[in-house]
Amino acid sequence: MVRVSEVRHRYGEREALGGVTLDVAPNEVLGLLGPNGSGKTTLFRLLSTLLPLSDGDILVGGASVKTNPAAVRSQLGVVFQSPSLDKKLRVEENLRHHGRLYGVSGAELRRRIDDELTRFGVADRKRDIVESLSGGLRRRVELAQAMLHRPRVLLLDEPSVGLDPSARSDLWRRLADARDEGLTIIVTTHLLEEAERADRLAIMDAGRVVACDTPRELRSSVGGDTLTLVAGDADALADAIRDRFGGEATCVDGRVRLESRTAAADAAKLLSAFPEWITEVTIGRPSLEDVFFARTGKLFVGADE
């Protein structure tokens, strides 16, 4: 449905994307997960045709962004991070303008406005000025608007920013519904817990896709559970563990991290070996954060630079 091949982009000297290749199948929710500055927003802007593409190609339903941007645009429904609703206008006025921009008009337009507002549960807000709506309701109006012209691909940039947890989970439920109705959805996020809800995840770092698979496969690709040790001198502890037991002990952010298939037994062993060093031990199932760490050697939260 969407094919991204060898896409590169630079802002002046700085390389924002260094050769990204991705295939998005029909009927799937693909999450673009990455810390700030990983290039996911640049990729979103290229996909949405907001930025002109210079290197590589992007095909949407067979049409190329380079040679036939209008055909690409007519197939896309786009939800921006900062709302593209006109706050001074009523909900229905926003949708009416949007419809006309996509060549829908007259009775058909009126019918679709009612349909979409009903589907997203905001039909009773039709005559309200957008300014007076809560963040969650605005997102729903935006989704209704993005679906108005029956797109085949829905693109969303950090759609849950500014939403409370219940509005966030409502949003994801509605995205899943839309996917079940036949839409292909691409959504960027920097929230790990949210990324779990995508069908497939492309993890991005420093302008590249470092992993792309289902969240479950990604997690099981990490070799076991994660042991995290807190110690006064983490560097020294990591050295000592490597000396005594061999294997991979890395020191990140004042903590020692190990991957292990026998985490509980190893924890006991380490505690008895270095009782005076270790102040805290945590054992965790591999999370997406561990996946990110395994692929990039960086902590997800600290990877912003």
Partner 1 sequence: MEVARTYSPSLPVVFTLAERELVRFFRQRNRVIGGLVQPVLFWLLFSEGLRSSDLGYTHFFPGTLVMILLFTAIFATISVIEDRNEGFLQGVLVAPVARWAMVLGKVLGGATIALIQALLFLALGWATVGQINPTPASALAATGGMALLAVALTGLGLLIAWRMDSTQGFHAIMSVFLLPMWLLSGAFFRQGADGWLGVVVAVNPLTYGVAALRHRLTPLDAEGLPPEPLCWLVTAGFAAVMLAACWWVVGREARGS
Q: What residues line the site for partner 1 (CB under 8 A)?
A: 11-12, 48-50, 52, 61-63, 68, 70-71, 73-76, 78, 80, 82-86, 88-89, 93, 96-98, 100-103, 105, 145
Nearer residue to partner 1 within complex by CB, 73 or 168: 73
Nearer residue to partner 1 within complex by CB, 159 or 215: 159
Asked if residue 36 lies in contact with residue 3, where contact means CB atoms within 8 angstroms, the answer is no
In whole angstroms, how close is the CB of 201 to partner 1 at the nearest point? 24
Nearer residue to partner 1 within complex by CB, 103 or 246: 103
In whole angstroms, how close is the CB of 97 to partner 1 at the nearest point? 5
Nearer residue to partner 1 within complex by CB, 48 or 160: 48
In whole angstroms, how close is the CB of 104 to partner 1 at the nearest point? 8
CB atoms within 10 A of CB 233: 12
Distances in Å between the Cα of 99 and the Cα atoms of 23, 75, 88, 144, 147 are: 29, 13, 18, 11, 10
Query: Which residue type occupies 89?
Result: L
Asked if residue 249 lies in contact with residue 256, where contact means CB atoms within 8 angstroms, the answer is yes
Asked if residue 244 lies in contact with residue 284, where contact means CB atoms within 8 angstroms, the answer is no
Nearer residue to partner 1 within complex by CB, 31 or 151: 151
Nearer residue to partner 1 within complex by CB, 62 or 223: 62
Q: How far apart are CA 23 and CA 233, in angstroms?
A: 45
Nearer residue to partner 1 within complex by CB, 85 or 206: 85
Asked if residue 250 lies in contact with residue 237, where contact means CB atoms within 8 angstroms, the answer is no
In whole angstroms, how close is the CB of 99 to partner 1 at the nearest point? 9
Q: Could you tell me the strand order of the sheet in which 225-231 lies?
A: 249-252, 255-260, 225-231, 278-284
Q: How far apart are CA 57 and CA 257, in angstroms?
A: 40
Handedness of CA 253, 16, 31, 147 (dihedral sign): positive
Residues contacting 113, CB < 8 A, separation 6+: 92, 95, 96, 99, 126, 148
In whole angstroms, how close is the CB of 145 to partner 1 at the nearest point? 8
Helices 135-147 and 106-119: crossing angle in degrees, nearest 10, is 140
In whole angstroms, how close is the CB of 238 to partner 1 at the nearest point? 40
In whole angstroms, how close is the CB of 138 to partner 1 at the nearest point? 13
